[in-house]
Amino acid sequence: MNFEVEKFGLKLATLETQIEVLSARYANMNERYVSALSSLNTLTMHSAEAAKAAAESAKNSVVAAQSATEAAKEAASEFAVKAAEAAARAAAAAALAAIQAASAAAAASAAASAAVANQAEESSIKASAEAAAATKIATNAAAEAVRLSNMAAEVARTLKK
């Protein structure tokens, strides 16, 4: 019987060691999980901010395209054809910048959405929604910049005739 008690004691000690190892592994894994969630939350917030900045950039590109279009219209004299063409090129560059800003907003929005897929925190969901809204603003601004660019180009073409 003494041998059985000793054998049982060894098994109990082995199980106790295994539980301690599992507990340490769980603590380590939980620490890494908390750290990963924090990183994802930070990524989500930065992605939303990037999308908002890209939307602002797209809006600024629309203002530049509007100004270039106005310059092309103002230069509507035979002597100012080159100025109108330069304004049309500026409007086209502003439209391209707006398109690139919309693309950046879309990428940031996708990153925010991916982060939300990995963590269902309210702040991440809100940031993802803000990034999506910023992408919509940037896309609309890009479309307006392209429309203005086309107007400026048409003014320059009209002047050449």
Mean pLDDT, residues 20-29 taken together: 85
What's the pLDDT band for 79 if we cut at 50, 70, 90? low
Amino acid 103: pLDDT? 77
In this structure, of 7-11, 117-121, 142-146, the range with the lowest mean pLDDT score is 117-121
Amino acid 44: pLDDT? 72
Amino acid 155: pLDDT? 75
State the pTM of this model.
0.58
* Three-state DSSP string of the chain: CHHHHHHHHHHHHHHHHHHHHHHHHHHHHHHHHHHHHHHHHHHHHHHHHHHHHHHHHHHHHHHHHHHHHHHHHHCCCHHHHHHHHHHHHHHHHHHHHHHHHHHHHHHHHHHHHHHHHHCCCHHHHHHHHHHHHHHHHHHHHHHHHHHHHHHHHHHHHHHHC
